Amino acid sequence: MVSLAFGLVTGLLIFWVMTRRLRRLSGRMRRFRAAESAPVMPFHPPATDELEELQTTFDSMSGRIAQQIEELRANDAARREMVAHVSHDLRTPLASLNGYLETLQIKDDSLTPSERKAFLGVALNQGRRLAALIDDLFELAKLEAVDAEPQVEPFSLGDLVQDVIQKYGLRAERDRVGLDARIPGSMPLARADIGLVERVLDNIIGNALDHTPEGGRVQVGLLQVDGGIAVEISDTGCGISKSELARVFDRFYRGRDAHRGDHHAGLGLAIAKRILDLHSADISVRSELGRGATFSFVLPVAATGT
């Protein structure tokens, strides 16, 4: 009888030891199913048998699922924030546009030609603001699509910079802001999507002009570096505080000290960063309040013979 009891206890103990890892794995599965946030999975040494391999595989799989859940939550939060910003930025010019058009319709007979012209001018400006915002939103959505891919080709970055400088020449002259470029005499061809790079230059130079007061200066510089061409766009404007530097590339970020009024949706720098991300190129900014800002990025050089 004693030997029978001893054998039974021994068998139960052996069974408990043999199934310990299965119970531990089952417990992890229950905790993962009940968890409201991403669980932290432990590190495992290389598996020595099938059971340990199963446990490692489950932990890896559950960790990946948890990561994807967190990414979905972050994307949903970003989507909600974007919808809120878009709603506000669309509502403001639309309300202004409707207001001036309704005034023109109601008081058309009593308005003088100069008043009518002024009202139409404001309505037209608000319409253009709406169109620009919608264009920026569509462009950003297109750039963030999964299949977005730049059409790279060799081109003269110096010539492109000169073209963009010329495009903004009249605006700079009107605002009495100096605008020029420093381009070395001999530069290799860059390799990138010329249309997208032009948009980057447009957005950053336009942003620099917005934040540079009368008598200031905006300058574009090119410099050949190891494996690429460095682009620096600097201004002598109001600068950016340290607390805001990390946010300048966020969607809908607006510099509060712009000298040309609050007429942008804050998507220009976000679009520029996304374009450079597609080229595997980083963009950085350095600035101090009252001492301007400098935006820098590097584009690859085209291989010889391309």
Burial of 8 (0-12, 13-18, 19+ CB in 10 A): exposed
Structure pTM? 0.66
One domain for residues 109 and 141: yes
Q: How are beta strands 190-192 and 293-300 bridged, if at all?
A: unpaired
Look at residue 117 and tell me if it is in a domain: yes
Tally of domains within the chain? 3
pLDDT at 20: 67
Q: What is the pLDDT of residues 151-183, one digit of tens each?
A: 999 999 999 999 999 999 999 999 999 999 999
Q: Are 280 and 171 in contact (CB under 8 A)?
A: no
Q: 288 or 275: which carries more pLDDT confidence?
A: 275
Average pLDDT over the chain, rounded to an integer: 79
pLDDT attached to residue 247:
81
Residues 159 and 166: their CA atoms lie apart, in Å, by: 11
**pLDDT over 50 (residue 64):** yes
pLDDT of amino acid 27: 66
Does residue 306 form part of some domain? no
Lowest mean pLDDT among 20-34, 40-54, 193-207, 264-278: 40-54
Residue 85 in this model has a pLDDT that exceeds 70: no
**CA 249 – CA 231 distance, rounded (Å):** 17
Q: Which of 104, 129, 148 is the last residue of a domain?
A: 148
Whether residues 162 and 292 fall in one domain: yes
> What pLDDT was estimated at residue 43?
47
| Same domain, yes or no: 221 and 292 | yes
- Which amino acid, one-letter code, is at 231? V
Q: CATH no. for residue 68?
A: 1.10.287.130
The domain containing residue 11 runs over which residues? 1-27
Same-domain pairing of 244 and 123: no
Looking at the fold, whether 46 and 182 belong to one and the same domain comes out as no
8 is a domain residue = yes
Q: Are 184 and 220 in contact (CB under 8 A)?
A: no
Higher pLDDT: 164 or 304? It is 164
Q: Same domain, yes or no, for 144 and 158?
A: no
- Please indicate, yes or no, whether residues 39 and 165 belong to a single structural domain of this protein: no
Distance CA 166, CA 236 (A): 20
Instruction: Say yes or no: 161 and 296 in one domain.
Output: yes
In a domain, 204, yes or no: yes
Instruction: Answer yes or no: do 21 and 42 share one domain.
Output: no
Does 63 or 188 have the greater pLDDT score?
A: 188
Q: Where does the pLDDT of residue 6 fall: very low under 50, low under 70, confident under 90, or very high at 90 and above?
A: low
Residues 293, 163 share a domain: yes
11-49 pLDDT, tens per residue?
666 656 556 666 666 666 666 666 655 454 554 555 555
Element (H, E) at 231: strand 228-235
137 and 233, same domain (yes or no): no
Q: What is the pLDDT of residues 95-153, one digit of tens each?
A: 888 888 888 888 877 888 888 888 888 888 888 888 878 887 888 878 877 677 889 99
pLDDT reported for residue 209: 92
